[in-house]
Amino acid sequence: MKHELKPGELVQIWDHSPDEVCGPTITEHGSIGYLVKPSIQKDSIISGVIWEVICFGQDPPTKHHVHEEWLNLIHSPMDIKKKT
């Protein structure tokens, strides 16, 4: 059963690309942040939820809009994936 994401949860952006269809890995790949809220995007043809995620690895902290499929929920430090 898939966990339903909620605002305030700690996540890591983990893009499953690169591939021929989606193109190169997104620039936020590997960043850790908190879910702010679902984004409202009109005219979207993508199924699923786009989330606003605030990441603290930059100064000032930056907000990104990320599809739920590219969000890895963090329960403990063991859940953090390392970029190779």
Q: What is the pLDDT of residue 39?
A: 85
pLDDT value for 59? 85
Most confident of 22-26, 37-41, 59-63: 59-63
Q: Domain count for the chain, please give it.
A: 1
Does residue 25 sit within a domain? Answer: yes
Domain hosting 61: range is: 10-78
Q: What is the mean pLDDT of the chain?
A: 83
Residue 83 lies in a domain: no
The answer to whether residue 68 is domain-embedded is yes
Would you say the pTM of this structure is higher than 0.85?
Answer: no
* Whole-number pLDDT of residue 28: 84
Of the pLDDT bands very low, low, confident and very high (cuts 50, 70, 90), residue 42 is low
Residue 19 covered by a domain = yes
Is the residue at 84 inside a domain?
A: no
If you average pLDDT over residues 55-66, what whole number do you get? 88
On whether residue 66 sits in a domain, the answer given is yes
C-alpha pair distances (Å), 23 with each of 9, 20, 63, 64, 72: 28, 6, 22, 18, 20
**Does 1 fall in a domain?**
no
- CA 60 from chain centre, in angstroms, equals 18
- Give 10-30 pLDDT, tens digit per residue: 999 987 765 556 556 677 888
Q: Give backbone dihedrals phi and psi of 67, rounded to 5 degrees, phi first.
A: -65, 140
